[in-house]
Amino acid sequence: MTLVAPTPTATTTTAAPPTPHRTSSTLLGHFERGLDAPICLTWELTYACNLSCSHCLSSSGRRDPRELTTEECKGIIDELQRMQVFYVNIGGGEPTVRSDFWELVDYATAHQVGVKFSTNGVKITPEVAQRLAASDYVDVQISLDGATAEVNDAVRGPGSYDLAMRAMQNLADAGFRGFKISVVCTRENIPQLDDFKAIADRFQAQLRLTRLRPSGRGADVWDDLHPLPHQQRELYDWLVANGEGVLTGDSFFHLSAFGEALPGLNLCGAGRVVCLIDPIGDVYACPFAIHDEFLAGSIREPGGFEGVWRHSELFQKLREPTGGGACGSCAFYDSCRGGCMAAKFFTGLPLDGPDPECVRGFGEQLLAERATDALPKPTADHSHRTSPPRPRGSAGPVPLTLSIRRPDAQPAHACAESPLAGFTPTAVTACACGGH
Amino acid sequence: MPSVTLDSVVAVHPRVSIRPEPFGALLYHFSTRQLSFLKDRMLLEVVRACDGTRTLGEALGTTGVPAAQTARYLRAVETLVASRMLESASAGTAPRRTAPDSATISTEAVA
């Protein structure tokens, strides 16, 4: 982000050169009141996924039968082009398992909508990597939650580390420079930050660190996996030391209360400058808030996406000024702005109070006092029914007993109640049911 | 830092998309995937006037930028050249490619 401000504002007479890390309060005000179109948005294309990560923020696994059709997806892209939404972050589920995935990527880029997609790497073959490397309009983000297989696979499932490494190798071999390696920061992998950076450097990729949210299945593991208070400090210091070379998706603005603001807008953009379209066309305020409480509408309604963005009651409400609630009097409110709405909601904290990971410890205090028996559950759960799914390939063949069942050889059981037990028809001369 | 003068000829990079906003405009560069915010409408007009044929002096004149503010607008244009939103159309006045400026972050910031 470059802030280019040639003219003095009402309150200052000095020319305002662009200052890194800080966006002027007037511009922030514009963002808080919402823009006519999002700057970018997240679009989960499918709930289907080959993995079953324990912290999946969209509780993905199984495809939803109501999934948007190819034509509906193209309709959304047309709208995004009209609204000049510069790019979409495509995710899922695993978006590349949709059979029309590449068709949609091509359609978007041909319509001036840039694409960055997140993948676990399952479909990034050498051929696909070649193709991706040739496009300026497509960016790729490989998910990796441990710098070692041990730490990664504990969260993402057996084999997922190798899957990601293979995809990254393919991208690097194809000459794709600067693809993203996306890491959700956990208690287990914060000690590995330097190792992640080394992996990114090795593949000439860029490291992206994001916050573990208690969203989706993340709610089930958040208590055990979210960074400990001293790790938050370690992470903050690491981010400050590594500067803008490491991306964060603006996820750690709640840590800005430690001192210097981190790069980014440092505000909650939910419903103001970002939002989420889910696989069935429902529009939520942000990717971490898949819950009825944050459902703004559906692109299947007559007004389409634009109608939801501009007129939904929820989004209007999110764009109203807030005083900061319980945090309003805190000296650090201007830095952290009360933190993440979704993190508060899914941990059962009031939305106008501190973030559960408030660096001053107010969140922890509230977490200790809250009632944990009625925490909100995500609206849509598409988890695999056998979660985690049975490993494929590594477990060897599935033993099956094959036999030929010969009805005439089956003796009638002594307790068989059917009047036809033991009777075997020898010829059927007519069938009344028709159609078979 | 690249330097631009009133004699420089610059143009909006062909991979840059401009979205006017009430506060000014949003610029997005499809190659660097970076976003810039223009904080006033007059700067947007200046950027639009940078068509690769006019000098910056002419562009500022067409847009009606007061003489007293010329230096400020030049500095703004310089920032946009540094982040490659604008590129030099006349060889020698500004580098064609510069490393991303420290004031430029990726659109990650709003992802």
| Among candidates A2, A112, A274 on the partner chain, residue whose Cβ is nearest the Cβ of B83 | A2
A2 and B102 within 8 Å at the Cβ level: the answer is no
Per CB-CB distance under 8 Å, the chain B contacts of A208 are 108
Residue of A nearest to B103 (CA): A20
Residue B99 in this model has a pLDDT that exceeds 50: no
A139 and B42 within 8 Å at the Cβ level: the answer is no
Residue A223 in this model has a pLDDT that exceeds 90: yes
Q: What is the pLDDT of residue A389?
A: 57
User: How far apart are the C-alpha atoms of A353 and B68, rounded to whole Å?
Assistant: 47
Residue A58 in this model has a pLDDT that exceeds 50: yes
Amino acid symbol at A125: T
User: How far apart are the C-alpha atoms of B105 and B101, rounded to whole Å?
Assistant: 8
Question: What is the count of residue pairs from A and B with beta carbons less than 8 Å apart?
Answer: 134
Length of chain A: 436
CA A319-A324-A329 angle, 5° bins:
160
User: How far apart are the C-alpha atoms of B19 and A375, rounded to whole Å?
Assistant: 41
End-to-end CA distance of chain B: 28
Per CB-CB distance under 8 Å, the chain B contacts of A16 are 39
Are the C-beta atoms of residues A38 and A287 closer than 8 Å to each other? no
Are the C-beta atoms of residues A59 and A217 closer than 8 Å to each other? yes
CA B37 to chain centre: 10
More confident residue, A236 or A378: A236
ipTM: 0.78
Residue A392 in this model has a pLDDT that exceeds 70: no
User: How far apart are the C-alpha atoms of A296 and A136, rounded to whole Å?
Assistant: 33
The backbone torsions φ and ψ at residue A139, rounded to the nearest 5 degrees and listed phi first, read -120, 150
| Among candidates A35, A137, A249 on the partner chain, residue whose Cβ is nearest the Cβ of B108 | A249
Taking only the tens place, the pLDDT of each residue in A235-289 is 999 999 998 789 998 889 899 889 888 877 778 899 999 999 999 999 999 999 9
Q: What is the pLDDT of residue A337?
A: 87
Pairing of strands B16-21, B24-29: antiparallel
pTM listed for this prediction: 0.82
End-to-end CA distance of chain A: 66
Chain B contacts to A (CB-CB under 8 A): 15, 17, 19, 21-23, 26, 28, 30-31, 33-40, 42-43, 69, 71-73, 75-76, 79-80, 83, 85, 100-111
User: How far apart are the C-alpha atoms of A116 and A95, rounded to whole Å?
Assistant: 11
Q: What is the pLDDT of residue B105?
A: 37
Test mutation, A1, A109, A265, chain B, max B CBs within 10 A: A1
Pairing of strands A206-211, B34-38: unpaired
Taking only the tens place, the pLDDT of each residue in B79-95 is 999 999 999 885 444 44
CA A183-A115-A384 angle, 5° bins:
55
Fold of B10-110: Outer Surface Protein A; domain 3 (3.90.930)
